[in-house]
Amino acid sequence: MQNFSDIINNHVLLVALVACLLAQVVKALIEFVRHRKVNLRVLVETGGMPSAHSALVTALACGIGQTLGWSSPAFAVTSVFAIIVMYDAAGVRQAAGKQARVLNQIIDELFQEKPEFNEDRLKELLGHTPFQVIVGSMLGVVVSCLASPAY
């Protein structure tokens, strides 16, 4: 039971999770403003503005820097991890989403005359634009700075 208590009291982990959850809530608010309806699915979907992945890993790296020091090996590791995640979100996953869009279009055109062909569509919104990644990253930094404990 002590281990669970240690996890719950891990300030860096909590700050990273708060940043991620806040990004998801902001996504839902943006969705509501754009479409004038509540869509709670965005709370668990990937893609969109801002990047929750970027907010999470940036808050994690900043939290480590604040608690263990900006020159610590742990900060270096989490920073490299954050860069890889953000690159993946804006690069690889964004490209996979574009490919899914093209494949869905091909399926739509090929099977236009065969409505009985009912394949699941590929998810097109997988990644983020660079701007969404930057905004998510800035959100992570802000949350980490606001929640910084006084050491």
- Domain assignments of the chain as residue spans, ordered by start: 2-91+127-146
Give the CB-side neighbour count of residue 96, counting CA atoms within 13 A. 14
Residues 59-113: pLDDT tens digits?
999 999 999 999 999 999 999 999 999 988 887 766 676 777 777 777 777 777 6
13 SS3 class: helix
Residues 116-129: pLDDT tens digits?
655 666 565 566 78
